[in-house]
Amino acid sequence: MRLALASVLLTLVAPAFAQAFTERPEVQAFIGEVVERHGFVERELKRVFSRVQRVEPTLQLILPAERPSWDDYRAQFVNETRITRGLEFWKANRRALKRAEQRYGVPAQYLVAIIGVETNYGRNMGRYRVIDALSTLAFDYPPRASFFRRELEQYLLLAREEGLDVFSLRGSYAGAIGIPQFMPTSLRRYAVDFNGDGRIDLTRSAADAVGSVANFLKEHGWQPGEAVLFRAKPSPEALARYVDGSVEPRTRIAELLASGLELEPAPSSPEALGVLVALGAEYRVGLQNFYVITRYNRSALYASAVSDLADALAARAPVARK
């Protein structure tokens, strides 16, 4: 098959800056591997990597940052501007959102909230060429090199399958693409053509973005009709026993309640599994759907902000449905 293509510590990788990607042994090895696995044409891949540019900002932005407080993090996403824009997005895409609810079982407010948190409804989709961002992190960021090499491989496959110019797509500093910020692996696996035009376009089609987010959540185990989280008032015993940094629900709600923890609203099923998470001075108990949201971004802060934004949107949803 032919390919048609129209600080860990930054000082450790600095010498590679002046060296063309195609001259580097690890890039040559990567090219050989994807040629063998997927039938790419070696000279075409070499031509691609001869044009790839190292993106210095990606190496700065990928470094671990100090974790923000819950109050600061929440305020970035749950505010009047984001809610107003979310309601506008909901109104403009209400038919696609209704179809997604019916097909995938995910309420519209969570789809709107995720898109709002990810890109402010398509306003912040990223400015870096995806091929450059992924290549930079794949070969110049050792702590996660294997992850980004897999994503780079998936991006090359995506470009071949969709007939894309590999240099045409722009995304985040980490190579996430489009309105919902899918990495190439997720795009190939979970993205759907939801507007029926025969192609998947997460950059320009809000309908495709809505359907793709819904499909992602469903495939990761979303439980239709079930809650996402409860607000919690934990006892000292519950804090000592159950707050361990995990986001996976493994403890029966009945057991959490027996430890003195109070939940709002009252849970309908004491047999459901939950996880007690600390958000600064606040606490939540996340359920299965909370865990599913963390598959999008593996952070209790993220899933809680999505849930809070979804609640705020749902409270004013009649505006969006008119």
pLDDT at 12: 36
Query: Which pair of structure tokens corresponds to residue 226?
Result: 């079930």
Q: Average the pLDDT over each of 25-34, 37-46, 78-87, 266-275 and give the range with the smallest value.
A: 266-275
Mean pLDDT, rounded, for 175-193: 98
Per cent of the chain over pLDDT 70 is 93
pLDDT at 123: 97
User: Is 33 a catalytic site residue?
Assistant: no
* pLDDT for 13 beyond 80: no
- For residue 322, name the pLDDT band (cuts at 50, 70, 90): low
- For residue 207, name the pLDDT band (cuts at 50, 70, 90): very high
Mean pLDDT, rounded, for 225-253: 95
Distance CA 129, CA 114 (A): 23
**pLDDT tens by residue, 67-121:** 899 999 999 999 999 999 999 999 999 999 999 999 999 999 999 999 999 999 9
- For residue 320, name the pLDDT band (cuts at 50, 70, 90): low
Please give the model's pTM, rounded to 2 decimal places.
0.92
Task: State the distance between the two ends of the chain, measured CA to CA, in whole angstroms.
Answer: 50
pLDDT at 76: 97
Mean pLDDT, rounded, for 27-41: 97
Higher pLDDT, 249 or 11: 249
Catalytically annotated residue among 36, 101, 118, 153: 118
